[in-house]
A and B are shown apart, each in its own frame.
Chain A
Amino acid sequence: MRSAWTAAAGCAAALWAASPAAGASPAPRHRAFWDVSLGPVRSTNVYRDSSEEADTGYDLRARVGLRSRFSPRTFAQLHYDLDALSFRTANVENRRDHAFAGLVRHRLRDPLTLEVKAGLRLSRFPNVTAFDSTTTYGQGALKGYLTTRTTLEGGLAYEATSYPDYDLDNHSVGVFGTLARDFGRRTFGELSMAFRSEGYSERLLRDPTSTETPDDPRRRDHDWFAGARVVRDFSLVLQLEAAYQYGRLSSNGDSLDFGPFQSALADVPGDERLVSDFYSHRRHEIRARLRRLIRRGSSVTLAARFQDRAYFGRLARDANEQFLSPEEKRHDRAILVSATVDVPIPVLARHARFGHFGLRLRLAREMNQSNEALYDYGSTVAALSFTSWF
């Protein structure tokens, strides 16, 4: 928690430092903003697993904040996010996330910009308080123009999450980079990569020999990805975006399976089994999004995502929580398709002096094909939201 306040103080200090010197011109400009969507949501599978519990609830996403331009070279933003999802009966994973964040962007010299972000996120699960967590994060990046149409951005990121009543405290340090190019003729492309090293201070390894540091046998993950994204404007109102990403997580984390009887070690000793390389996996992901802008506040977006995730050591289990026979490593293939329609509310859109007031209808279908019975599922979500932004 202390690091959270340190991050918040650092953000405030950065904002202060970004203020122009006395007498500098032009005067700073500040703008308050909000972005809200609130409405009912119906899911045929709230927990997104084989339980297939259907329920109706509500989804609220709100952001309010202040954007400030201190000078032509310096921009800052502070905002608060509230993200709440609540179902009536399938309510175990109901949650509320509160996040406070700030960023400062400063042009150091003509082709080079520095951006610093920091934030604090409080995740609250009213019905499973053990999952409550506090996350602090910070990120610094430099972005420069290699040519008038090519940019290179790179930076460092830090994140720490603590669980007061759960042994999943972790922190991570990462690097990331993006090379982007505007090819003209309404085509834009980018290559990106990121690497993150995560340490779990409370997760002792079951098998101490699997760590390089026997004195400190704790779980450590190395997660990286590389990807490419292309955006093509077929016209100024019709845009197609396609992306591919390859990711790989290497972890020394293991897991103890309590055996066919799923008993505590003291009851039936000898049927337990240590599953090493439990979290390591690779993933391929392909995404596509087609968006058509119709009029002010009106758009239609179709999106699809395919993800193939294969674990290196994690054994798949059947519906009775037993390893498959013959044994198989867990392998998931997920497809998500969605359609979103935004329309303005006619009367409010005409008479509101500022801001946007609209409705959003979202339909999504997810199919996850997995040899792990619990995660072999399908889910359909329909949501209608009142939206407003300014």
Chain B
Amino acid sequence: MRKAAIFILWGAVRLSAGPAFDAAEVRGLLDKGRFTPPQTQAALALLDRAERGGLPTSMLVNRIREGIARRAEPKAVLGVVEDRLQQLERADDVVRQCAASGIAVRERERSLLTLADAFAQGVTPGDVLAILPAAAEGKRDVETIARAAETLGRLARKGFPPKDTRDVVSAAAAAWPADRLDDLVGLFLQADALRLAPDEAREVLLQEVRDKKKDPGAGSALRREQDRREGR
């Protein structure tokens, strides 16, 4: 019953999401950017595809506007828009699966954008889907999933591939408030400074997540590890 309600809610949100783009305005913009007629057609087709999928087209239009302002080649702008659309479509798939897993979908558009950003940083839908079971059990919403994906992306940018961070991010997504997930970037850097191997870091950080769930101000597992390493 709950799942059915979430589906209905998700469908309603989806229909209302992604305000239609103004084709005439976009044509004017593309003319200004010296897009050829076939390139203009391709851009409009991408926007149309996004609109039909209920994806935020305004964000794609902004990408075109930015590209033109930077005097980028129309071909390059089209490539960026197509990549972004694919990231949004993958994000949409993840949001659907969240809904199917009983995870509440609120702030869909914002979550789509956050997820798409994470995919742009090398995170895969598989990395994010691995987080869903724990998050569903912890009764988290899709915004938390998106923040977790964003954290995976930030960690990847700092040199920690998702395969080494997924378990810890998943545990934290299930146990911590969404706004604390950013802390994981610093915690992974601290573990790296202790020269912990990936599996050792995973073990210590999972303990850290458990400790901080019980008591956010509790003694740190990392601190204990640091003391041991330094012989204190």
Contacts and interface: CB of A to CB of B under 8 A. Distances in A.
B219 A296 contact: no
Contact of A188 (B190, B192, B223): B223
Contacts of A297: 159, 192
B22 interface: no
A203 to B, nearest CB: 29
Interface stretch (A15-23, A178-186, A217-225): A178-186
Main secondary structure of the interface of B (DSSP, over half): helix
Contacts of B228: 105
A232 interface: no
Query: How large, as a class, is the contact surface on chain A?
Result: 20 to 34
A344 B159 CA distance: 10
A356 B190 CA distance: 15
Nearest to A387: B195
Interface in A158-217: 178, 180, 182, 184-185, 188, 190
B200 interface: yes
B189 A185 contact: no
Contacts of B158: 295-296
B190 A293 contact: yes
A339 interface: no
B72 interface: no
A178 B232 contact: yes
Interface string B102-115: 00000000000000
Contacts of B21: none
B186 interface: yes
A236 B189 CA distance: 8
A325 interface: no
B183 interface: yes
A293 to B, nearest CB: 4
Interface in B26-44: none
A71 interface: no
A147 to B, nearest CB: 10
Query: How large, as a class, is the contact surface on chain B?
Result: 20 to 34
Contact of B186 (A182, A188, A237, A390): A237
Given A235-B186, A236-B185, A148 B197 contact: no
B33 to A, nearest CB: 35
Contacts of B217: 184-185
Nearest to A237: B186
Contact of B189 (A149, A190, A237): A237
A389 interface: yes
A185 B218 CA distance: 10
Interface in B199-232: 200, 215, 217-220, 223, 227-228, 232
Contacts of B7: none
B187 interface: yes
Contacts of A299: 193
Contacts of A88: none
B186 A296 contact: no
Contacts of A188: 223
Contact of A296 (B160, B183, B197, B223): B160
Interface of A: 31, 33, 35, 105, 148-149, 178, 180, 182, 184-185, 188, 190, 235-237, 291, 293-297, 299, 344, 349, 354, 356, 389-390
The 6 closest A-B pairs by CB, nearest first: A236-B186, A296-B159, A184-B217, A293-B189, A182-B219, A295-B158
20 contacts: A33-B197, A148-B218, A149-B218, A180-B227, A180-B232, A182-B219, A182-B220, A185-B217, A190-B232, A236-B183, A237-B190, A293-B190, A293-B192, A293-B193, A295-B159, A296-B189, A296-B192, A344-B159, A349-B159, A354-B198
